Amino acid sequence: MQRALGVAQSILNGVLGDHLERTGNGLALDMELIGANDLPKGSKIVVLVYGLMCTEDVWTMSDGSDYGTLLARDFGYVPLKVRYNSGRPVAENGKELARLLDELVTKSDVAEIALVGFSMGGLLVRSACHFGRANAQPWVDRVKRAFYLGTPHLGSPWERAGRVLTRVLRAVPDPYTRLAADLGDVRSRGIKDLGDPCHPYPLLPSIRHHLVAGFVDERLARAFGDALVPLASGTDGACDHPRALPPANVKILPRVSHLELARHEEVYAHIRAWCEEAS
Amino acid sequence: MTTKHWKGAAMLAVDAVVHGSAAVERVQLATAKRTFDILESIPVIAPPSALVRVVHDGITKITHTSIRGVARVAAGALGYRVADPAER
């Protein structure tokens, strides 16, 4: 029951999170770093950031493990999971994440940070790094690598289609289609941010960036990718322009859907290989 | 669910009523306008149609304003001020 309520609250936050925050509604989730209490000084941490309308359960594999516990087992990272209101603007959440990481690093003298962002979570990671660097926060220098799993770096065509649809509905001089347009426009700023054709902040050169994208059907891979994020967006353009990122830092997995990217053994195998070659 | 969550759910219900009522009122008035515009273009029935329009629109506005008023009173009991639908 508690789990179902948590899922419902996360979905509500994804759809209406900016409204909940603006109106001071108690259903709005506050951002928190789960697992950050009593962090030993000098720890290596891995921070997992889920995507739109998700909960921490999105990371859980069939055997109960997740990328955090596996990285703890294999590399000694302390896993922290970010809980947040995914309906807020991505940049606002990025700023908040940067602030929390700054506080944590100041308090616990964290030795090293790895960031793992799934879907929208990857955009938060990019934003947080940008704001951390812009504000000269020391935690950014402790970030050695960042992993982006199914992250729509070049936006989502579904949100762009939604924008076009609401515009068309609003242009029709009919009260019912305008009502439908009004209902469509209720969606949160977080969702609307996913329609932006490129992320406003570049990947920081001081961090090793690793991108994983999936596709469900080879014939539709380019247009639909993992069913939510097209390949070009999931690879930040690297599938069309291989020099955009080192090819070794980009993995494209066949027959892996969007949600599976958050809890797939093959994805972890790549994360592990990247950590081994970088350590 | 904590008290904070229950209160949040109630606030959300009030928001839905206030904003939903405003949207439905707009649709009702716009839909009726089409019909009344046609009726009022026919000279024989134009005068009574204009009267019926005034009564119809008046009842529609009073009904929805009352619905929003009750919702706002309920919101006030929660210590919550609902934004006017136009402020969204």
Chain A's closest residue to B21, CA to CA, is: A179
For residue A81, is pLDDT > 60? yes
Distances (CA, A) of A221 to A244, A247, A257, A276: 19, 18, 11, 30
Q: Which residues contact A141 (CB under 8 A, 6 or more apart)?
A: A206
Contact (Cβ atoms closer than 8 angstroms) between residue A263 and residue A119? no
- Predicted local distance difference test score (pLDDT) of residue B86: 60
Of the candidates B7, B23, B30, the beta carbon closest to that of A26 is on: B7
In 3D, which of A177, A179, A172, A175 has the Cα closest to residue B29?
A175
This complex has an ipTM of: 0.79
pTM: 0.90
CB atoms under 10 Å from CB of A105, counted, come to 21
Task: Report the alpha-carbon distance of residue A44 to residue B42 in Å, rounded.
Answer: 81
How many contacts does A have with B, using Cβ atoms within 8 A?
40
Chain A's closest residue to B78, CA to CA, is: A25
* Six-digit token string for B65: 């304003």
Contact (Cβ atoms closer than 8 angstroms) between residue A223 and residue A161? no
Task: Report the alpha-carbon distance of residue B48 to residue B40 in Å, rounded.
Answer: 9
Work out the widest C-alpha separation in chain A, in whole angstroms. Answer: 63
Tens-digit pLDDT profile for residues A30-68 = 999 999 988 988 999 999 999 999 999 999 999 999 999
- Predicted local distance difference test score (pLDDT) of residue B88: 47
For residue A244, is pLDDT > 70? no
